[in-house]
Amino acid sequence: MPNSSTISSLKNKIMESMVNNETLFYAINSPTIKNFENASELAYTHIFPYAQNPETIKDATTFITIEVDILEAYGPDQQWVKPTLIINIISSEKCMKVSNIPKVTANRNDYISQLIDNMFNGRMDLGYGPLTLFRNTGGSLMSGYLFRNMVFKTKDFNDSLCGK
């Protein structure tokens, strides 16, 4: 199996987990998708398995991007990789207050990052060993948009040698 197969595999697992999480669904607070029964519609409208430019989004909203980088291959013949999962939470300034969920006092990006941290930090089924939150930083992306950038690391055993 090629080392790069880890990229789409990890993205697909993360995206599926996010779309199926009811708490995350309401935290995103889509202006168009209001019923959790339609949560699958968040894929490619609010949750993207690639970088997304806020200028291409028509509504003031929150969206999440998922990226996977392979920064290091190691082992005999470089058959193992250490993928890095990057999750960006991007919200219009108009959406930062979480007014749709009682008792949430954090801003939307911070709250969503807490949910994502709870969903993925320590998970053992997304690589070889636990997925570990390495960094969680925030800032201003561009005029009118704020972000939170989360970086997780894991190890992936590439099973290309298993069939030999």
CATH code of the domain covering residue 61 = 3.30.70
User: For residue 93, is it within any domain?
Assistant: yes
User: For residue 65, is it within any domain?
Assistant: yes
Q: What is the average per-residue pLDDT within 132-152?
A: 93
pLDDT tens per residue across span 49-106 = 998 876 666 778 899 999 998 877 767 777 677 788 999 999 999 999 999 999 999 9
Q: Is 122 left (phi over 0), alpha (psi -120 to 50) or beta?
A: left
**Three-state secondary structure call for residue 73:** strand
User: For residue 164, is it within any domain?
Assistant: no
| Whether the Cβ atoms of residue 148 and residue 88 lie closer than 8 Å to each other | yes
Q: What is the average per-residue pLDDT within 98-122?
A: 96
Residue 83 CA to residue 40 CA, distance in Å, equals: 26
User: For residue 153, is it within any domain?
Assistant: yes
Domain with 134, as residue range(s), is: 5-159
When divided into structural domains, the chain yields a total of 1
